[in-house]
Structure 1
Amino acid sequence: MQTTLSDNARRLPRAEEAESILRTCVHCGFCNATCPTYQLLGDELDGPRGRIYLIKQVLEGHEVTQKTQQHLDRCLSCRNCETTCPSGVDYHNLLDIGRAVVDAAVPRPLGQRLLREGLRNLVPNPGLFKRLVGSGQVFRAWLPDTLQAKLPRSTPQAKPAPRTHHARQVLMLEGCVQPGLSPNTNAAAARVLDRLGISVVAAREAGCCGAVDYHLDAQATGLQRARRNIDAWWPHLESGAEAIVQTASGCGAFVKDYGHLLERDPAYADKAKKVSALARDLVEVLREEPLENLGVHSDQRLAFHCPCTLQHAQKLGGAVEATLIRLGFNLTAVPDSHLCCGSAGTYSITQPVLSRQLRDNKLNALESGQPDVIVTANIGCQSHLDGANRTPVRHWIELVDAALPPPPTGASS
């Protein structure tokens, strides 16, 4: 695509990157065929090709309007278009660049600003979030349906993590909302890893991965969170931790992008590159291990929802399904498994109508094989799908943990 950036755009830190991405696009439109919002709305500007054109106009100096902002806001950042694109357009990075320019030029209405600032202050604070979830459970009957749908169906209880110490060690990102919404997920992962001779080391100083801030008009804050995590993980990596494991694929996709996002930071570029190289989704660790030795047994029928951040961002589509089948689980077929469920981080809150439509379509597909349980690999998807109060939705590792035989006598897990 022929592109001529304006003088102002050429002064942007990522101007060269934006121009390169724009020129990669051949405007073929294959991306629209797999774009969830284009499928719902049928508007060219609510598909990747149209949004790329809007960003091109902005960077070439054309007027920036609230309509431009609205069409970019409606994007789920699911990256389905990247999987489909025959030209390899790096859409998500172009979208980040475009959104930053548009958000700097178009002030948001007060309600939107308050909502986004509230999310940025609440979601990355696991202690506060967990207390609010607990209060919500107490007063659940008096809450509106929209808030009830954001709460777990029952008060979740975390089982203890194993206390054994193995020569092989990994770090694990605790997450922001997962401790409050699904506190047994990381403990279940630690127990399964323990059976395989791998210990989980806690890096207490690490916090939110930064994705929430980065995607809610605060890219600088998001990158600062990334730097703090790198500082927290670095001593453990130097001491021999072999990976940084994520049980939430949304966090994992962002951590794997640290190297790119901080490549112009001389103090962190090299460390960020190493952190991204060592970041692993849980399934990447488990699939390399002798899973047959676990002795897992379950008769439940499972439908797996593969999060967009796992299949399109991390390119791990099919990895969890293959691992579950290898462990002996019975998986049902899921039509249109490439399509987004509508969670997309905070999208279910900032774009509730579109999000619910996508959720209901996804649940219809997931339930078509009549599973006993739906499993997924991202807390956002899990909470969003389970909020419909239909088939129960859990993290896949919890089902694996529940299907483990009792530990040997005297073992801590």
Structure 2
Amino acid sequence: MPAQQLPLPDLPLPQLLRQLDFDRLARYREHLAFYLGQHWSGRPRRGERRLTFNYARAVVDKVTGYLLAGANIQVVGDETPAGLARARAAERALRAVEAANALGQLDYETELDCAVLGDGAYRVAWDARAQEVRVSAPDVQGLFAWRDAAQPGRLDAIAHRYRVGEDEFIEYWTAERFELWHGSELTERLPNPYGFIPYVVFPNLREPKQPWGASDIPPLVEVNRELNRAFSQLSQVLELSGNPIAVLEGVTASEGIAVEPGAVWELPEEARAYLLDLLQGGGVALHATYIELLYRVLHDLGESPRTAFGHNPQGLSGVALNTELDPIARKVERKRRIRTAAYERRAWMVLQLLARFEGLEVEGLRPVMQWGPVLPADRSRQVQDARLLVDGGIVSRRTAAAALGVEDPEAEAARVREERSG
């Protein structure tokens, strides 16, 4: 799908949006419905049992939990005393914005939504009434993007459609102007007060030549449905075996035959009665074997080994455990490459707004995303390695602390100095 062109000036924006992205929005609805457990289609047949085990949701939640482990933003600048002081001040300002907007929780919810739908977004704006930066995560089902054809990740314009009560609003942003629509009426048009489009739109996983991202749900759909069918069939077999079916041979009429405890039947000569054994011939074992195969397919397609869910009968540890968990680590790393640019862009926007409205000095400063290890690690070995790197002049103490998962290395270092001086 090619990148969209900018809206035509003679076509009202609300009317234009109603003609865009039907396929993308339909995919969002399908993926969300499946994540919420709507796995069966059509009405059940009479007597049909439909069990739903939402493994797709479990896999998506698990991968998302791994993704954000140890995530934090640092600010770097020149190595002069003044540059370091400005970087520390900018970091403290970022931490205050993170706390005020509860970004830890917001990021997890957004990443979960992004994994399900295939795309995620953040909005960074200045709240004039509260005199602070507001970071929110708009629903991507209401976003429409116009992109640079040569660089699909770069936004030329964005429209954000949302509802407040019964009223529909649309915000339209370019780097030069801002428009606000209420229903079908343009109520505001003014220069962009920020100088940049205050949205970060990013894909869950990239598909070649596609401007929008790929969801984690589609690879799991068929195998999850087949698991539901297999479990439903096995459940019905076991129930019927616990309430066995009576088979009568050589009987032409059913008068006087009552199915109840202690009942005595009088059968014609040469007729016979017996219970139908649905478990004979290893039928249950065959079902169980098939379900185990489906489990393997599910974990392979979801890139989430059963070990990631705590299944470790061999007691693996160290290198062997990391090798077992390698598929989920690779998937998380692919996502982190995309998220690094998105979160650094968001932090840059926050700093620009603080500079514009609060006078924060940000010239020459650059946000840098830091990630913690994906897989279980030997903490003492990590500390030892970090110490060797610092002593060897390879990395700074701040970088080493960030790699060890310290969210605010500068504040932690200040506390250490305070304890030592005390």
- Please identify which structure carries the higher helix content: 1
Query: What TM-score results when the alignment is normalised by the length of structure 2?
Result: 0.26
Higher strand share: 2
Of structures 1 and 2, the larger Rg is shown by: 2
Q: Could you tell me the TM-score, scaled by structure 1's length?
A: 0.26
